[in-house]
Copies of this chain bind each other. A is one copy, B any other.
């Protein structure tokens, strides 16, 4: 069966849709500015479960996933729209108000204006569509397709925490229900991700990222998307991956933690590439950020290698996909 990525590629070609295929579409706004736009559909029991989250967390995450797409373009979020469909039984509760509270609080943090939306009834499950617009200097949006051989590969923050949080949820741990601090940290990474807007804007202002993508499906898949778009390959060093500090506490093997970091989705960190000639300038000018150098871009188009215990393995894309 076709994956959603194959389907998108099919319609992109069939209808000549040149703006499809990055974290955001880029449109000219005025002589100095481009507009970037993203939309994310979240469906109950596919993307979230009501017994695992709170309406406020869900409102926050709804906006966060789109802000992360805007960050991946090196852009500044500006305004947002929100469509939400709920069944009658949810409409009767205070769910939607609490959801908006969580959503609204995150808009305030990044000075994003809520400009519109839609409300609908559904037969059974909640559905949400989040739409965010950002602005970036004309021609300066950071694409997936512009990584070059020899570029260094970096990620922001830490990896694997969101999937560890998901595993805790699957095992019955709940945020409000006597969870330990380390568990709460992992649950927050899953339920209330923080988009890397500031890191992305600093990177872009200093002209550092040659290409960028956000880690939503999982490093192995998202890096594959970036490599495909850039027609390059990559080499990743397992021992350089910044595992989330609370992964120590989960009592799993190193291989399992590595699996979370490589194939677990929803960390909503950024993966970006930097021209190796700028390595020292990068270190110097962005030392206030928590960036990790995890690998490099190779000329071996389509091949992603993982260097583990001095051996080179082929890293297959095993991140999240709907179909």
Question: Of A27-35, A147-155, A207-215, which binds chain B?
Answer: A27-35
Q: Which residue of B lies closest to A44 (CB)?
A: B123
* Cβ–Cβ contact B116 & A19, under 8 A: yes
> Which of B19, B47, B96, B123 is the one whose CB lies under 8 Å from A115?
B19
B contact residues around A37 at 8 Å (CB): 81, 115-116
B interface footprint on A88-118 (CB within 8 Å = 1, 0 otherwise)? 1001100011001000100000000111111
* Cβ–Cβ contact A41 & B116, under 8 A: no
* Cβ–Cβ contact A81 & B25, under 8 A: yes
Instruction: Give the CA-CA distance A38 to B47 in the complex, in Å.
Output: 24
B interface footprint on A4-47 (CB within 8 Å = 1, 0 otherwise)? 10011001000101011000110101110001011111111111
A124 contacts the other chain (CB 8 A):
yes
A314 contacts the other chain (CB 8 A):
no
* Cβ–Cβ contact B118 & A39, under 8 A: yes
B contact residues around A29 at 8 Å (CB): 29-30
Instruction: Give the CA-CA distance A207 to B104 in the complex, in Å.
Output: 37
A281 contacts the other chain (CB 8 A):
no
CB distance from A104 to the nearest CB of B (A): 5
CB distance from A202 to the nearest CB of B (A): 25
> Which of B39, B97, B114 is the one whose CB lies under 8 Å from A129?
B39
A300 contacts the other chain (CB 8 A):
no
* Cβ–Cβ contact B114 & A41, under 8 A: no
B interface footprint on A126-147 (CB within 8 Å = 1, 0 otherwise)? 0101010000000000000000
B contact residues around A119 at 8 Å (CB): 4, 7-8, 41, 322-323
* Cβ–Cβ contact B83 & A115, under 8 A: no
A interface residues, tally (CB under 8 Å): 57
A312 contacts the other chain (CB 8 A):
no
Q: Which residue of B lies closest to A113 (CB)?
A: B19
* Cβ–Cβ contact B120 & A42, under 8 A: yes
> Which of B17, B79, B100 is the one whose CB lies under 8 Å from A114?
B17
Instruction: Give the CA-CA distance A39 to B24 in the complex, in Å.
Output: 17
B contact residues around A123 at 8 Å (CB): 43-46, 125
A193 contacts the other chain (CB 8 A):
no
A121 contacts the other chain (CB 8 A):
yes
B interface footprint on A302-323 (CB within 8 Å = 1, 0 otherwise)? 0000000000000000000011
- A45-B123, A91-B323 known, 15 other contacts, Cβ within 8 Å: A7-B119, A11-B97, A15-B114, A19-B113, A35-B35, A37-B115, A39-B116, A39-B117, A39-B131, A43-B123, A46-B122, A118-B129, A119-B322, A122-B127, A124-B124
Among all A-B residue pairs, the 3 with the closest Cβ atoms: A30-B30, A129-B129, A25-B115
